[in-house]
A = this chain, B = another copy of it.
Amino acid sequence: MRENTFVLEDTISALLENKKYATLRDILITMNPADVAILFEELPEEKLPLLFRLLPKEQAAETFVEMESDVQEMLIRGFSDAELKEVVDELYVDDAADLVEEMPANVVKRILRQADPEMRKMINEVLKYPEDSAGSIMTTEFVSLRPGMTAEEAIKRIRRTGVDKETIYTCYVTSTSNVLVGFISLKHLILAEDDDLVEDIMDTNLISVKTTDDQEDVAQMFTRYNFVALPVVDGDNRLVGIITVDDAMDVIEEETTEDIEIMAGITPSDKPYLKMSVFSIWKSRIPWLLLLMVSATFTGMIITSFENALAAQVALTAFIPMLMDTGGNSGSQASVTIIRSLSLGDIEFSDIFRVIWKEIRVSFFCGIVLAAANFIKIVLVDMLLMHSSGVTYTVALVVCLTLGVTVICAKVVGCTLPMLAQKLGFDPAVMASPFITTIVDALSLLIYFRWASLLLNL
């Protein structure tokens, strides 16, 4: 999809060069704000204020929301107060709050000065909730109805107040003390008789979230229930905001990327790869590499302590990488499956024994097949074909027994650690491949040298 943007980029550059502003405007107004934002980021920075001023008011604000924060800051610094006010007036509260959170203090001051008092109050309302909470991603612009209204009155109210609301498709019904008592979709209102009472046609099976709920759990509820919006209530069940499905999708994308990064041993960042500086990429990766390098030296110590055994049977060394890799892969298969299932809510801590029992059976059959395949390979390739020195049937047996036991241990460790981590309040994603690999490496070597000393009398 991005390819189209790049072809267009040349046309836009040429038009800019020739100062064909009317033509530029004609092109830009046919485009979706998300595409305009991507296009702008490919163009030279100094042209942006000029291009931005070509956009009609509403499109300008929508494009602004889609831009990276460094571009937003640059634009704001170039805005006159009147221009800034125009953009801020068009923003939804949740977007305005995001903006305020990401700008430096002096820019924030200018933004809040331009926002009208009502908007300022709503922005501050959203800002008081902790990061990653439902409160921090909600908007306070929603349609609320009263139980005693008729469908006709309700639709009239929506027509009167709906223009600034983030969604009018789900309306919330509140009592006089602002307590949430029901909801009704615009679809039901439109399809109802004019004089039906809201309280008779509204849905009272309310599913709502608390301001303090984790944004990831909230986003999962959208996937589960197929909602367009979810109401956010305070401790007394009073309606304070709503979260819409588009924000939930952003949360899901962000949290999934975070999970995947943590699973690969990377400190998550919310910037796209190409926007990150070399230093910040380095900073997100080096702590994990150092930590895992230090843990891996324990594996080295195990080898050192069996140095004499290895010197006596040099052939054993050649199988170490295969044993470590296969163990690591078996373990990460289990851990990644469990981490994903936990984050989708498919399994929870109380399933731990079912999971372990399942993994034991799976790993038993995996271990048998891998050990058998490996035995055949050692006999055919190493012994009959290559005549590798020191590779005997007993060595083959040691390798295959190690393989079988390692695979079982790796899968049990791989499935158990993420579940324990979650139970203890840590992110299970930390217990993915790099971590499991380091543990399983040490395990596999210990098992290897145990079988070797048992069967080869080392």
User: Could you list which residues of chain A lie within 8 angstroms of chain B, going by C-beta atoms?
Assistant: 1-3, 29-32, 34, 155, 158-159, 162-163, 168-169, 186-187, 190-191, 205, 207, 217, 220-226, 228, 245-246, 248-250, 252-253, 256-257, 260-261, 263-266, 272-274, 278-279, 281-282, 285-286, 288-290, 292-294, 296-297, 299-301, 303-304, 307, 310-311, 314-315, 317-322, 324-326, 328-330, 332-333, 336-338, 340-341, 344-348, 351, 354-355, 358, 361-362, 365-366, 369-370, 373-374, 377, 381, 388-389, 407, 433-434, 437-438, 441, 445
Q: Check if B437 sits within 8 Å of A225, measured CB to CB.
A: no
> Across the two chains, which residue of chain B brings its CB closest to A377?
B297
Contacts of A256 in B (CB 8 A): 256
Known A34-B224, A358-B281; contact A264-B337, beta-carbon cutoff 8 A: yes
| Cα A407 to Cα B296 with chains together (Å) | 15
Q: When the two chains form the complex, which single residue of B318, B333, B434 contacts A332, counting CB atoms closer than 8 Å? A: B434
Q: A2-B345, A187-B162, A333-B266 are in contact. Are A326 and B292 (CB under 8 A)?
A: yes
Residues from chain B with a CB closer than 8 A to the CB of A366 are 282, 285-286, 289
Chain B residues, CB < 8 A from A297: 322, 377, 381
Interface SS majority for chain A: helix
Count of identical protomers in the assembly: 2
- Inter-chain contacts of A300 with B (CB < 8 A): 318-322
How far is A132 from B272 in the complex, measured between Cα atoms in Å? 27
- In chain B, what residue has the closest Cβ to A217? B1
A441–B281 alpha-carbon span in the complex (Å): 23
CB of B322 within 8 A of CB of A296, answer yes
User: CB within 8 A of A325: which of B253, B341, B355, B438?
Assistant: B438
Complex contact B317–A310 (CB within 8 A): yes
The listed residue with most B CB atoms (<10 A of its CB), out of A266, A279, A315, is A266
Give the chain B neighbours of A299 by CB distance below 8 A: 321-322, 325
Q: Is the CB of A337 within 8 A of B273?
A: yes
